[in-house]
């Protein structure tokens, strides 16, 4: 068991991360500490992740009854959401039956159809699809004809999505509650028609799954190959704008890493991914930085079994940059309990959000975009649209 | 937890405890720690939770750590408002500044609804009359809370107002004896119903109309760890001047009414379906039409005897 690194965190968060990293410590936790841990897990939406870690370590049923009830309550909510997700995927597969190109499921939907342990931990809020850029209009048209609707957007937002984002506006079927996001790339840094995306699509694989036991086997949907699933998750973990969800995303990464890179549970070998190849594959896709930082955070906060040699080789950021980023990440991404943030926490968050926008849009687009948002905030939607 | 009751504390000490480490309330199905630096919360809280024992021990397990506070920063200065935080989460955003007790109560209900999904959560008043559990179910305005309060003040044990917590493993009804939230005209009706009625302040024009809370009688608070077995389900409907009638309700109709009135039927799926089926098969299900509270309580007591 690799120990978690040194980091700055509120006591409740530290207790959560310590338990996550070493589930066997569950047996010596005081009642008050359990309250703090559950509170912290609830804040970071990671109660299912913690329950999965405890279950995999075989200690879930050794926790106090009152604590177990919280894990069980969360498990019912996840079970229902998984059912909704499978229904949505079944409808999607059906709606795209006549479409000839590849439809690749990303994130939660991919974990679900592969029946990965991670699907038991997380609450999927939407369905992410990757399709070739040239086909995106056809896919959108097929979904529209089967009842999916896009959110009503103003002209500006519509244009922003289509020209500058790597997805089209979210679609939803009015009879069901899940958003469907159709992407033509896996990150803002990758142009949708690039060779990298073609490489991802080319290496993707078909999955066989059933919406319910006894129903026909579905083969219309694909997933990224395992190593690319880790790269894609690292891009999200590193590049998302919602800092408060970052810890949960790092936990997603940790659980996926342990599934793919570790020894398989029955002790009969290793998972399908060689961890030492992760940085190389990420580099091929132009995402080495995202992978390095995600591995770094996962190891530091959660004790993810990442070999330290991987993080000290070539491609390692400057020591001062690592120290600065660690300082900022601890203060803006780990759940806090104070209602009023300290100025250090505020500065850290501002710096990271600025960096996020900087990476997403070139300055000549960023400045008009921010001005538009400010104008709309001040004048209201209609005046700004005029 | 065998502490003194909140009512025995003086208001100032309670306010200090709330502003400091908080007070821990064991409400049966849920244990909460309440913290607040709002001095005006202490007195109403002391009144409507008067029989509720509390602890200020930092080393107990709590299901939820809740906080009632004011909105921070410049915005809070310009437009004073309240915030309800549960474990640091802010589910409601800005709340009206002048109704701390109702917001706290709704907040704790939110905790129940989000954290207790391993039980079937029924939108119901729950009582025990002569050893038999009774659920009062129906849409808002049907008179659930009024009847629950009226029966409680005539010696019935209150398990809960608003939340009937049904444990799936053995169909036992778990008490959550929180103050009964009375709305609009029923505030006055209950105030004049019994000289034992202890009501908190009336908060005017909340999003549910005027609201006042009735303190739970001490026996019900003391027995908050004793589950009940449901024997009767009553669907009341109050109408001005209506004659009292308590008609049997068909099982199929009762099933859909109970399912419709549970908060998490959809979340629990098959477990909820089976639990509701067992419940209506076992119970005497009745539709109550009433205009007179006195007669309504008499017929409900009669059907339980």
Whether residues B87 and A40 touch (CB distance < 8 A) is answered with yes
**Residue B69 with chain A: CB contacts under 8 Å:** 339
Q: Which of B58, B65, B269 sits opposite A80 (nearest CB)?
A: B269
Residue A295: band (very low, low, confident or very high) from pLDDT cuts 50, 70, 90: very high
pLDDT at A354 over 90: no
Average pLDDT over residues A43-59: 96
Q: How far apart, in whole angstroms, are the C-alpha atoms of residue B185 and residue A324?
A: 61
Please report the pLDDT score of residue B57 as a whole number. 75
d(CA A314, CA A143): 45
Q: What is the mean pLDDT of residues A241-250?
A: 82
Whether the per-residue pLDDT at A374 is higher than 70: the answer is no
Nearest CA in chain A to B271: A76
Q: What is the pLDDT of residues B178-204, one digit of tens each?
A: 999 999 999 999 999 999 999 999 999
Question: What does the block give as tokens for B159?
Answer: 């398990």
| C-beta atoms of A76 and B118 within 8 A | yes
What is the structure's pLDDT at A2?
Answer: 45
pLDDT at A151 over 90: no
B83: chain A residues, CB-CB within 8 Å: 339
Rounded to an integer, what distance in angstroms lies between the CA atom of residue A149 and that of residue B257? 33
Residue in A with minimal Cα distance to B272: A76
Q: In DSSP terms, which residues pair with B163 in a beta bridge?
A: B123
Is it the case that residue A231 has pLDDT exceeding 50? yes
pLDDT tops 60 at residue A384: no
Given an 8 Å threshold on Cβ–Cβ distance, is A39 in contact with B73? no
Mean pLDDT of A15-35: 95
Distance CA A330, CA A5 (A): 12
Query: What is the arithmetic mean of pLDDT over B91-99?
Result: 90
Token digits of residue B250: 């068909």
Q: Is the C-alpha dihedral spanning A267, A268, A269, A272 positive or negative?
A: negative
Mean pLDDT rounded to a whole number for chain A: 86
Nearest CA in chain B to A78: B267
- Selecting from B59, B73, B264 the residue whose C-beta is nearest the C-beta of A30 gives B59
Helix, coil or strand: residue B66: strand
For the stretch B2-13, pLDDT in tens is 568 999 998 899
Of A109-123, A276-290, A325-339, B231-245, which range is least confident?
A325-339
Mean pLDDT of chain B: 93
User: To which H or E segment does residue A320 belong?
Assistant: helix A319-333
Whether the Cβ atoms of residue B286 and residue B248 lie closer than 8 Å to each other: yes
pLDDT the model gives residue A377: 62
Predicted-assembly ipTM surpassing the 0.85 threshold: yes
Task: Please tell me what DSSP assigns to residue B42.
Answer: H
3-state SS class at B88: coil
C-beta atoms of B115 and A70 within 8 A: yes
Residue A220: the pLDDT is 86
Closest CA to B97 of B112, B116, B77, B113: B77
What pLDDT sits at residue A386? Answer: 44
- Minimal CA separation from B194 to chain A, in Å: 38
Q: A252-267 burial by CB neighbour count: b if 16+ within 10 A, else e?
A: bbbbbbbbbbeeeeee
How far apart (Å, rounded) are the C-alpha atoms in residues B121 and B165? 5
- Contact state of A38 with B89 under an 8 Å Cβ cutoff: no
B289: tokens are 């039409």
Chain A residues with beta carbon closer than 8 angstroms to that of B86 = 42
Q: Which of B60, B67, B69 has the CB atom closest to A31's CB atom?
A: B60
Residue B63 with chain A: CB contacts under 8 Å: 35, 66, 70
pLDDT attached to residue A243: 74
**Stronger pLDDT, B74 or A36, i.e. the higher one:** A36
**Nearest C-alpha neighbor of B157 from the set B125, B181, B122, B183:** B125
pLDDT tens, residue by residue, B114-138? 999 999 999 999 999 999 999 999 8
Q: Where are the alpha helices (DSSP H) in A146-267?
A: 155-164, 195-203, 226-239, 246-261
CB A233 within 8 A of CB A108: no
- Which tens digits make up the pLDDT trace of A92-140? 999 999 998 999 999 999 999 999 999 999 999 899 999 998 899 999 9
pTM: 0.90
pLDDT of residue A117: 95
Token pair 């109403």 in the structure block, residue? B44
- For residue A30, the chain B residues in CB contact (below 8 A) are 59
Residues whose CB falls within 8 Å of the CB of residue A152, separated by 6 or more in sequence, listed in order: none
In tens, the pLDDT along B13-54 reads 999 999 998 999 999 999 999 999 999 999 999 999 999 999
Q: What percent of chain B has pLDDT over 90?
A: 84
């Amino acid at each position: 068991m690799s120990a978690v690194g040194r980091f700055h965190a509120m006591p409740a968060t530290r207790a959560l991360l310590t338990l996550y990293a070493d589930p066997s410590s569950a047996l010596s936790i005081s009642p008050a500490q359990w309250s703090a841990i559950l509170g912290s897990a609830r804040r970071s939406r990671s109660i299912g992740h913690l329950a999965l870690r405890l279950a995999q370590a075989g200690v879930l049923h050794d926790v106090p009854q009152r604590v177990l009830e919280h894990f069980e309550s969360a498990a019912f909510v996840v079970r229902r959401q998984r059912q909704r997700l499978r229904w949505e995927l079944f409808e999607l597969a059906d709606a795209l039956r006549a479409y000839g190109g590849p439809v690749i499921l990303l994130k939660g939907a991919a974990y679900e159809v592969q029946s990965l342990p991670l699907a038991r931990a997380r609450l999927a809020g939407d369905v992410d699809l990757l399709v070739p850029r040239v086909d995106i209009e056809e896919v959108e048209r097929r979904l529209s004809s089967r009842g999916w609707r896009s959110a009503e957007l103003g002209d500006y937002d519509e244009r922003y999505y289509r020209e500058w984002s790597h997805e089209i506006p979210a679609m939803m079927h009015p009879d069901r509650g899940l958003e469907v996001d159709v992407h033509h790339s896996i990150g803002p840094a990758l142009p949708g028609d690039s060779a990298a995306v073609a490489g991802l699509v080319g290496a993707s694989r078909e999955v066989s799954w059933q919406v319910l036991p006894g129903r026909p086997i579905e083969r219309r949907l694909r997933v990224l190959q395992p190593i690319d699933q880790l790269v894609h998750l690292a891009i999200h973990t590193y590049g998302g704008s919602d800092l408060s969800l970052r810890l949960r995303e790092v936990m997603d990464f940790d659980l996926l890493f342990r599934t793919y890179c570790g020894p398989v549970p029955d002790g009969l070998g290793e998972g399908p991914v060689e961890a030492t190849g992760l940085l190389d594959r990420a580099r091929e896709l132009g995402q080495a930085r995202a992978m390095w930082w995600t591995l770094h955070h996962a190891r530091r906060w959660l004790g993810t079994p990442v070999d330290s040699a991987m993080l000290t080789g070539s491609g390692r950021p400057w020591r001062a940059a690592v120290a600065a980023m660690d300082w900022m990440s601890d203060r803006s991404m780990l759940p806090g309990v104070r209602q009023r943030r300290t100025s250090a926490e505020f500065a850290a968050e501002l710096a990271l959000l600025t960096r996020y926008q900087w990476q997403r849009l070139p300055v000549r687009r960023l400045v008009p975009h921010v001005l538009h948002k400010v104008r709309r905030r001040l004048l209201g939607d209609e005046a700004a649209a005029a | 937890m065998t502490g003194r009751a909140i009512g025995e504390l003086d208001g100032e000490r309670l306010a200090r405890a709330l502003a400091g480490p908080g007070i821990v309330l064991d409400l049966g199905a849920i244990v909460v720690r309440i913290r607040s630096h709002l001095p005006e919360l202490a007195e109403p809280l002391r009144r409507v939770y008067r029989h509720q024992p509390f602890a200020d021990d930092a080393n107990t397990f709590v299901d939820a750590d809740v906080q009632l506070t004011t909105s921070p920063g410049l915005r809070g200065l310009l437009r004073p408002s309240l915030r309800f935080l549960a474990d640091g989460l802010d589910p409601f955003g800005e709340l009206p500044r002048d109704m701390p007790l109702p917001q706290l109560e709704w907040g704790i209900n939110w905790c129940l609804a989000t954290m207790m999904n391993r039980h079937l959560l029924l939108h119901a008043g729950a009582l025990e009359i002569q050893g038999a559990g009774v659920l009062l179910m129906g849409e808002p305005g049907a008179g659930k809370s009024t009847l629950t309060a009226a029966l409680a003040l005539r010696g019935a044990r209150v398990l809960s107002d608003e939340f009937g917590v049904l444990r799936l493993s053995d169909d036992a009804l778990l008490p959550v004896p929180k103050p009964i939230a009375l709305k609009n005209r029923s505030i006055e009706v209950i105030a004049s119903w019994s000289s034992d009625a202890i009501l908190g302040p009336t908060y005017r024009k909340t999003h549910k109309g005027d609201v006042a809370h009735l303190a739970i009688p001490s026996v019900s608070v003391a027995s908050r760890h004793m589950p009940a077995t449901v024997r009767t389900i009553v669907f009341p409907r109050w109408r001005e001047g209506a004659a009292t009638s308590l008609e049997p309700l068909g099982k199929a109709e009762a099933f859909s009414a109970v399912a419709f009135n549970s908060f998490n039927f959809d979340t629990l799926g098959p477990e909820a379906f089976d639990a509701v089926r067992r419940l209506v098969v076992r119970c005497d299900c009745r539709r109550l039409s009433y205009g007179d509270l006195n007669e309504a309580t008499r017929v409900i007591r009669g059907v339980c005897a």
